[in-house]
Amino acid sequence: MPRMTAARAAVEILKREGVSNAFGVPGAAINPFYAALKASGGVRHTLARHVEGASHMAEGYTRARAGNIGVCIGTSGPAGTDMITGLYSAVADSIPILCITGQAPTAVLHKEDFQAVDIASIAAPVTKAATTVLEAAQVPGVFQQAFHLMRTGRPGPVLIDLPIDVQLTEIEFDPELYEPLPVHKPAASRKQIERAIRMLNASERPLLVAGGGIINADASELLVEFAELTGVPVVPTLMGWGILPDDHDLNAGMVGLQTSHRYGNANFLESDFVLGIGNRWANRHTGKLDVYRQGRTFVHIDIEPTQLGRIFAPDLGIASDAKAALALLVEVARELKAAGELKDRSVWAASTQERRAALQRRTHFDDVPLKPQRVYEEMNRAFGPETRYVTTIGLSQIAGAQMLHVYRPRHWINCGQAGPLGWTIPAALGVATADPDGSVVALSGDYDFQFMLEELAVGAQHRIPYVHVLVNNSYLGLIRQAQRTFDIDFQVNLEFENQNSPELGVYGVDHVKVVEGLGCKAIRATEPDQLLPAFEEAKKLAAEHRVPVVVEAILERVTNISMSGTDIASVNEFEDVATEPGHAPTAIRPLAVS
């Protein structure tokens, strides 16, 4: 049997599990693993500037393509604790990433050795498994189990902690004999699916709620086929946006308190039956449950059995992988359609599109400083259906979800539940690494942008091009808007007069200078007519120089974006809504004026 270090065995397993890219920061306690990474070859490594950034890069990389598993690597102690936010983000949104940390020698783990911390205990609540490997011979099995766990059931992250002496110990291991463990996913039964379709068929105004679990299962085509067979309109969740194109006649719009469409909420409130697949009834989607549930029957299909009934008890719950359930749903629907037993939903579906044409938000404003709505209007003009959008949280993300258009799965890559500031830049780098020839466009407010700004240098060093749209009002806009409830405007104002850039006035940080100092390109737009040319120039610069290109749009200081603090029936629009076609020129449906 061949002999090699446990670290080398781990690297060989990574390759046989399909890993081709890793993101990380080396250090003393993980250097044996890095030595094995170099000696083995076959895994491209991207050096991050912050270990948390490496974890978000890994997540972006996973999200970009079906089957990807991003890997992040760091030394002991603070490297592991820095990656906790990335693990939390991944577990919250059911994203598999593998976090590998170095550790002090096993003999001194209990002796307060330098950077020795019980990272496995710290990471346990935000992973599917977190293990400190104390015996070198167990390394192959622990890595094998890690990939099995990440792919089995509800996907999620795993952490493996490797003491330095364990990494260096030679073990007997033959990579040629290694095989991944079979993956298990629960599957709905024919009887369960027949019941669900009978319930759907008995309704008058049904909707499908399509969640991120469908994208994780790579089942978007099946969802579209089922919707078209039955004629049932679809409400994508924020994590499921792109499952069917925004311009599809069965797209009923998004629902929720914040990242929703006027017509989406209106369509939902008219429904009497909801079939949710791969979704978790997130509170910013549902709002108050008494409003959301009133007068509706619910069927819920989810890969995680304990998710069923967690938020509210459905009328029927089915534990199943989304692809397995949808394959059966399509099969049964085909049979019923052939037998003429499916209801005609054309009138109901048409009514959802009538609301889409009538209930729109205004995007066209000529104000200076810019209104954010105009930025998204021009983004719709500049960036086509092939664009992958990447964003995390804030008014920029909420407004983007209300006004941008997404046409394909994995083309809206959004950190959903955790929403850490700073996620966007490293995640976009991970997405662009996975899709180097694709069109990747990130979206940030100024505060999210500043949290992990240093990671732009990673894009410059490793030639990772993408376009980053930065909407700058020098405010914590979402928090300021939330503080209206308390009648305060406290510790959310980022303005100051930058003595080195007086032309900015009170907008403080000169992002153009900082971005250029990190080796990237930057363009600033201050007037509406500058936006589209800036976006077009950014695309050219990214292609020419193979680096991130930032387009900074200087916004009005205060904007209130449409949202509700309570329920989906009472969204405050704040701005005047669209009343003529010119108010929303890039809307999917031309505004219908009564």
Cβ burial of 111 (10 Å; 0-12, 13-18, 19+) is exposed
Is the model's pLDDT at 479 over the cut of 90? no
Tokens representing residue 358 in the block = 């009538």
C-alpha atoms less than 13 angstroms from C-alpha of 293 in its C-beta half-sphere: 13
Give which of 432, 447, 436 is closest to 397, Cα–Cα: 447
Give me the mean pLDDT over the 79-95 stretch: 96
CA–CA distance, 254 with 252 (Å, rounded to integer):
7
Confidence of residue 493 (pLDDT cuts 50, 70, 90): confident
pLDDT band at 43 (very low <50, low <70, confident <90, very high): very high
How far is C-alpha 144 from the chain's CA centre?
Answer: 26
Q: Are 232 and 241 in contact (CB under 8 A)?
A: no
Cα→Cα distances 211→322, 329, 565, Å: 9, 16, 22
Q: Which helix (H) or strand (E) holds 359?
A: none
Catalytic residues: 25, 51, 421, 476, 479
Query: Which residue is it, tokens 């890069």?
Result: 57
- Does pLDDT of 24 surpass 90? yes
Q: Is 316 helix (H, G, I), strand (E, B) or coil?
A: strand
Question: Given CA atoms 289, 292, 296, 300 in this order, what sign does their dihedral have?
Answer: negative
Answer for the pair 314, 298: CB distance below 8 angstroms, yes or no.
yes
Across the chain, mean pLDDT equals 95
Residues of the chain above pLDDT 90, percent:
92
Residue 94 sits at the vertex; the CA angle it makes with 93 and 97, to the nearest 5 degrees, is 105
Confidence of residue 507 (pLDDT cuts 50, 70, 90): very high
Instruction: Kindly state the average pLDDT of the residues 226-251.
Output: 97
**Degrees, nearest 5: CA angle 275-95-209:** 15
In this structure, the dihedral spanned by the alpha carbons of residues 282, 285, 290 and 292, taken in order and rounded to 10 degrees, is -130
Q: Is 121 exposed, middle or buried (0-12, 13-18, 19+ CB in 10 A)?
A: exposed
What is the mean pLDDT of the segment spanning 475-489?
83
**pLDDT of 480:** 83
**Which residue in 215, 125, 589 sits closest to 414, CA to CA?**
215
Q: What is the pTM of this model?
A: 0.96
